[in-house]
Amino acid sequence: MPEFVQIHKNNDAALRAELAAGLLAEPPRAAPKFFYDALGSRLFDAITELAEYYPTRTEAAIFAAHGAAMAQRVPPHAVLVDLGAGNCAKAARLFPVLRPGGYVAVDISVDYLRDAMGELQQRHRHVPMLGLGMDFSARLALPPAAADWLERHDLAAAPRCVFYPGSSIGNFDPGESLVLLRQAHALCAAGGAGGGILIGVDRVKDKAVLEPAYDDALGVTAAFNRNLLLNVNALLGSDFAPARWRHVAFYDEAASRIEMHLASDGAQTVRWPGGERRFADGERLHTEDSHKWTPEAFEALLREAGFGPATHWTDGRGWFSVFWAPA
Ligand code: AVJ
C-alpha cells in the first residue's frame, strides 16, 4: 500500500493574506495556483482536449515515440520523484519503460494523490510508493519523513530521477526556475550515481500558434481564467462577478512568455472581509505567466543549475521538448 505524508498544507489564513496582498498590489495579481479548485482542474483537463492547446498531446507523443530512448538514460530502479503528480497518469504511462525502483509523488495535497496512487499500486505491487503533500514551489527538498521511507525500503542509495512534465516550469520566471532546478539538482545528487531530471518544456514559437493555445475559440481558457475569481471568492469571501471580467492572453516576445490577465469590464469595486479594491475600466488582474524556452537557453539553465550536459527529444514541428540532464 502507498504511504502518505502531509508536510505542510497552505492554511486558509495564509492563503487569504496572500490573496489580499495580491489584490492590493500594483499591478494587482493572483497566483496561478488559484486556478486549480475542483472545477478549475476539470477546466484544465478540458483545455488539454482543445485543438488549439498543443502542449499536452505533443508531450505525450514525445514520450510515446522516445520513451525507450529515455529509458537508456534514466537508470532502471531509480526513485522517480514526480513533481505536481496530480492523477499520476503521466508517470504511470512511463512505468513500463522506466521501471522505477520506487515512486514518490509530490503534490500540494495528498488528498489529490490517494485514489490515483492506490490504483497505480495495484498495477505495480512491488514498487514502493510514497505520496508527499507539500508546496515544492516554496522549496523543493525531501523531508525527513521521506528519508525514513527511503531507508525503510532500501532505497536510500538508489539513483533519483526528478520527473517534471507538462511545462509547468513555465509558470516560474527564469530566476525562480533556476532556484527550483538547483534544488532539484541537490535532490538528485543526494541519491546514488546516475540520477538526473526528466522535464517537459514548451518552446518559443510563432505567436500565431501560441496565442490561440491560450485564447481558444470555445472560450474554455477564458472560463478557466474567470473561474479563478470564483475560487478567490470562496477562499477570501470576496464578491468578484466573473461576468464583469474579460479574458486577456497575449505573447510577449521580448520576455518569451504568454501572459494571462482578467480585464475589468467597467469601473467596479471588489470587496472582501477587511478590504476592498477599486478597478478602473479595463484595469487588469494578472493571473498567469507561461514562459517559453529555446532548447539552447533551457540547456544553459540546466547547466547553471548544476546538471551535466542535457539530451532532449522533440516532436516533428519542434514545438515542445523533453530534456534529460544527469545530475
Ligand atoms: C499547466 C502551467 C503548463 O502554462 O500551458 C493552460 C496552464 N494556462 N492554459 C500552461 C495553462 C492556460 C499550463 N501549465
Name the H helices within the chain.
Answer: 12-24, 38-47, 55-73, 89-98, 111-123, 144-152, 174-189, 207-213, 220-236, 295-304
Ligand 1 in reach of 58 Cβ (< 6 A): no
Identify the H or E element spanning 319.
none
- The rounded radius of gyration (Å) of the Cα atoms in the chain is 20
| Residues ≥6 apart with Cβ < 8 Å to 13 | none
Nearest-atom number in ligand 1 for the CA of 249 is: 12
Q: Which of 34, 44, 204, 292 has most ligand 1 atoms within 8 Å of its beta carbon, as the pocket-test mutant?
A: 44
pLDDT at 10: 72
- The residue type of 60 is A
> Omega before 143 cis (within 30°)?
no
Q: What is the whole-number distance in angstroms between the Cα of residue 242 and the centre of ligand 1?
A: 20
The C-alpha cell at 192 is 546514488
Q: What is the whole-number distance in angstroms between the Cα of residue 194 and the centre of ligand 1?
A: 31
Take atom 5 of ligand 1 and give the residue whose Cα is closest: 290
pLDDT at 313: 98
| Tens-digit pLDDT profile for residues 115-163 | 899 999 999 999 999 999 998 988 999 999 999 999 999 999 999 999 9
Average pLDDT value for residue range 44-48: 96
Q: Which of 27, 1, 43 minimizes the C-alpha distance to 230?
A: 43
Nearest-atom number in ligand 1 for the CA of 288 is: 8
